[in-house]
A = this chain, B = another copy of it.
Amino acid sequence: MTFHLDEFLPYRLSVAASQISRRFAARYAKEAGLTIPEWRVLAHLDHSGAVSVRDIHARVNLDKSMVSRAASRLEKAGFLRKSGHDTDRRLIVMELTPAGRDLMARLGQVATGFQAELLSELGEDAAALDRALRQLASRG
């Protein structure tokens, strides 16, 4: 009846997550050397259009400071553009430049391909994993 870390869900989840992140990072490293926060910001902006730091912070599970720093790096690299909000001057409005959308188009390909690969490895358990992740993520 002794406790086994190998069978402990939080541990296994954490190991699997970092494993998969590594695999994916190896793929997109060939397209662009982005960090994970940069990748998330890029991906979110691509389909959200022009939004604020706070928006991304709330939807992408990144601290405000992470979003801010990642955005600054992406700006310096020419992938995104910041501008002020028309009526609320506290807000920063960010959107991708053409170069940013271009990069995301290529990374989206890589990501979609990788996802397909994972799903085929998972086989018939994929649907259950989907439900399980949704359930686990729902409890704040």
Which A residues are within 8 Å of any B CB, using their own CB?
2-5, 8-21, 23-24, 36, 40, 43-44, 46-47, 60-61, 104, 107-108, 111-112, 114-115, 118-119, 121-122, 125-129, 131-133, 135-137, 139-140
In addition to A3-B111, A122-B136, A128-B132, 13 A-B residue pairs with Cβ atoms within 8 Å of each other are: A3-B104, A8-B43, A8-B111, A8-B115, A9-B20, A10-B21, A10-B24, A13-B13, A13-B20, A13-B133, A14-B17, A16-B133, A125-B135
A122 touches which of B19, B60, B125, B135 (Cβ 8 Å): B135
20 A-B Cβ contacts within 8 A? A3-B107, A3-B108, A5-B44, A8-B43, A9-B119, A10-B21, A10-B114, A12-B133, A12-B137, A13-B20, A13-B133, A19-B140, A20-B136, A121-B135, A121-B139, A122-B132, A125-B129, A126-B132, A128-B128, A132-B132
